[in-house]
Every structure is written in C-alpha cells, then in structure tokens.
Amino acid sequence: MANSTVTSKEPPTDISDDLLQTPWQEMDDFDWSEKSLDSLLTEIEKYTPLAEIGNHSNIPHVNILLLGRISSGKSSFFNTVDSVFKGRLSLRSRAGCASSSLTKSIDIYKVKGRKNTGTLNFRMVDCRGLEEDQSVNSRDVEAILDGHVMDGYVFNQSTPITKDNPKFRKNPTFVDRIHCVIFVVDGSNPPEITMSQNVEKQVKELQEMMNRRKIPQLILLTKVDTMATAKEELSKVFHSKSVLEMRDKVAMSFGLPAYTVLPMQNLANSRTVSKEVKILTLYNLRQVLRAADDFLENHEEEISGDKYMGAQTESY
C-alpha cells in the first residue's frame, strides 16, 4: 500500500468551489430519476450469478465480504442496502461508533426483494472491524475467504478457528467461498489519518491473501455527504472535486485502480431513504455483483465440475 503525503490543503466548503462542470464518472445508462431507480431495483432482484454466460446452476448466490476499520460504515452499508428493498429503515446489523468493533462474529446476511420476489442472490458477510490494538486474526480471514467459516462464528483475537470448531466447514464448495471483497473506508478523513500504520499492515496482509486467490477488491468510500457538493446535492456526487480527490487518494493508498472506488452515503441521521441514496446504493451494489461475476467467470470450469473442496495447501 502506497503511502500518501499529508497535505494542509482544506477541502472546499462551498459547493461553487467544489462543483465540476462535467462528471468525472458516468453512470452508464442511469440517471437520478424514478425510472432509473426502478430499473436498478428490477435488475438486482433478477440478478443470477453467471447469467450472462448461461451457467449458474452450481452457484445460486455470491458472497460479498465487508472489511474495514471500526466505524467506517460497513454494517451501516448492509443496513442501507436492506432499507432500500424494505422501503423503510432497517437495523438488522448493529452499527455505530465505538472504541472497539461492534461486530464480534461473522454475520452472514440475506436480503429480500420487494413484495414477493424472495431472497436475492447475494449474501453480505460482515466481519469484525480492523482496529489499532486488536483485530480479526488473519488466519480467520483466510478461512473465511476459502469458505470454511460458518455464520455466527465468534472471533478470538489470540486463537484462530480450527477444524474442531463447530463453526468450521471442513469441505467447502465454490459456493461457500468469498467471491468479492469490499474494503469500507471513512471518506470524512484522509486515508493518511484513518489508515494507521498498524491497520495499514493488516490490510496489506489481507490483500496478499486475496491477490493469491485472485478475488476482486472494491473500495466503498462512505460519508461522502461530509463533502460540499455531495452534502448539498447527492446527485452531483460525480461532479464533486473533493470526492474525486479523495477517490484518487484512497485508491493509491490501497494500491487499487481508481475505478474500484465507489462513493457512498449510508443512512445515518435519517429515518427515510431518499431517492438519491437508493440510486447510489443500488448502482454501487450492481458494480459489486458484476465484479463477483467476473471472478466466477474466471473459474467457470471449476464451478461446472464443482471440483473445489477447500484450500488444499492450508492447515487450520
């Protein structure tokens, strides 16, 4: 992970100073209309892994792992996604600010579509937050990536999961693995402030595991509503100079391409979900599902034969 240079330059506080004439990112065929919102909702409700290549019988859903420093907004992201489809505020995942991670266990969440569309074809895996003094054991994350860890496993900082643990899945198949990772980053502070040396070391170690497995990694840049343009008008988030600059800094910090950074505003102080929050949430979720599909496509033959029986070189 590249180091960033600390700068004393203050971000723009006035929308006229922060607003770019043209967006630095286009939203494909979508805009901020009710029509686009309905189109995104329908597309995600109909999402089936590998539907584009017609091979999905062995993969009924994809697994998305949420990682990030405490209070970055990863649990809030799931709540926001769930709220969009519920049409009301969802509090299924415990979220908030604390001195240590509020997530103590692996929590695997399903999301139901509107009305009678049933459970959608993705799972969100909420993991203990990265901390300065204690964090999730890297061996646990390795086991999670390979599909060995079941829902409800409680983390123990000093002792990683073993084969004797009742929450250890001995023979995972490809459907049990993690298919995409989202690093959730607090966009209200520069990465050189939020990413301490110890947390940076943890992230680099985890990224090495993901890179060996060729698992796609995306960055969710939360709290963009703290920046001038997005605060005043979320639909102008891709016109914001400060969001653009933060996107580039965060991408460099993680050593990932800038296009992997997804600006996001989670539900925080509002009990209702605005149209703009819904559209941005669904647009980002669609990008995540597409990344997961790309990973699956690279393993199409393996999935078709369901040959994967867990990490062959690891011992737990």
In angstroms, what is the C-alpha Rg of the chain? 19
For 258, half-sphere exposure in the C-beta direction (CA atoms, 13 angstrom radius) is 9
| CA dihedral sign of residues 61, 62, 68, 73 | negative
Which range has the worst mean pLDDT, 28-37, 185-194, 233-242, 274-283? 185-194
Give the Cα separation of 85 and 193 in Å (integer): 34
Residue 301 sits at φ, ψ, to 5 deg, of: -65, -40
Give residues with Cβ within 8 angstroms of 235, minimum separation 6. Answer: 32, 276
What value does the mean pLDDT take over residues 99-116?
A: 78
- Whether residue 101 is predicted with pLDDT greater than 70 in this model: the reply is no
CATH architecture of the domain 15-302 equals 3-Layer(aba) Sandwich (3.40)
Work out the burial of residue 275: count CB atoms within 10 Å of its CB; fewer than 13 is exposed, 13-18 middle, 19 or more buried: middle
221-257 burial, b at 16+ Cβ within 10 Å, e below that, comes to bbbbbbbbbbbeebbbbbbbbbbbbbbebbbebbebe
* 3-39 confidence digits (pLDDT tens): 444 444 566 666 778 999 999 999 988 999 999 999 9
Q: What is the mean pLDDT of residues 169-197?
A: 88
Amino acid symbol at 33: S
Q: Where are the domains of the chain?
A: 15-302
Q: How many residues does the chain have?
A: 316
**Predicted confidence band at 151 (pLDDT cuts at 50, 70, 90)?**
very high
- pTM summary value: 0.88
Residue 198 has pLDDT above 70, yes or no: yes
Tell me: the pLDDT tens digits for 277-301? 999 999 999 999 999 999 999 998 8
